[in-house]
A and B are shown apart, each in its own frame.
Chain A
Amino acid sequence: NAGVTQTPKFRVLKTGQSMTLLCAQDMNHEYMYWYRQDPGMGLRLIHYSVGEGTTAKGEVPDGYNVSRLKKQNFLLGLESAAPSQTSVYFCASSYLGTRADTQYFGPGTRLTVL
């Protein structure tokens, strides 16, 4: 049982390049989330999904797109990377997203945009 995994672990992009971050979970969770963590800012929700085929905007969605074509995978895309998107990105999942559910986090992807 791998839990939540993220690919890649590190990436360096040039401004304007695109990339996709992959999150996978093997816990049969319905809810999945993408966060970014910046120094002094705490974790902020980018997008989330309440089930296969659904996505919704979080607190800081601009510049990102997501897709949830399969229940176990949640993809985060950057179409045209900007230096402001330099951050550590975390994926998380939870069973049903109810008040009793905790979120399980992946190890993170450290992205640098030059």
Chain B
Amino acid sequence: KQEVTQIPAALSVPEGENLVLNCSFTDSAIYNLQWFRQDPGKGLTSLLLIQSSQREQTSGRLNASLDKSSGRSTLYIAASQPGDSATYLCAVFTGGGNKLTFGTGTQLKVEL
């Protein structure tokens, strides 16, 4: 059974700091890995999708990497801003039922 773990569960950083969020998964037979953002009381917004054949994806200040063989992904946020405060979720897609398996998220707070 696929399991997705995110460390740390919570993180507080000062504005302007570069930071890395970690995601690990137990079964490397994935089709893609996605990073989502969730604001309090809101739904999920897709940030980046990395297909299994790719090593990284970038969008603005966000860069996500994927090492499928080791079962790891990182989300790098450059020059963090208070508006980046949210919970960040990673999820792996294993097909066969269209199944996305989610981690429990990292709650990020960027302080002024």
Contact = CB atoms under 8 A, between A and B. Distances in A.
A90 B89 CA distance: 14
A105 B95 CA distance: 18
A100 B49 contact: yes
Interface in A37-69: 40-45, 48, 50, 56, 58-59
Contact of B104 (A41, A45, A90, A94): A41
Range, interface on chain B? 20 to 34
A99 B105 contact: no
Contact of B43 (A31, A97, A102, A105): A105
A93 to B, nearest CB: 11
A99 B46 contact: no
B18 to A, nearest CB: 25
A108 B38 CA distance: 11
Most buried by A among B34, B41, B93: B93
A3 to B, nearest CB: 9
B97 A56 contact: yes
Contact of A42 (B32, B46, B89, B97): B89
Interface in B54-107: 89, 91, 93, 95, 97-105
Interface of B: 4, 31-32, 34, 36, 41-46, 49, 51-52, 89, 91, 93, 95, 97-105
Given A43-B89, A48-B98, A102-B49, 4 more contacts: A33-B100, A42-B103, A50-B98, A108-B42
8 contacts: A41-B104, A44-B102, A92-B44, A99-B32, A99-B95, A102-B34, A105-B36, A108-B41
Interface of A: 4, 31, 33, 40-45, 48, 50, 56, 58-59, 90, 92, 94, 97, 99-100, 102-108
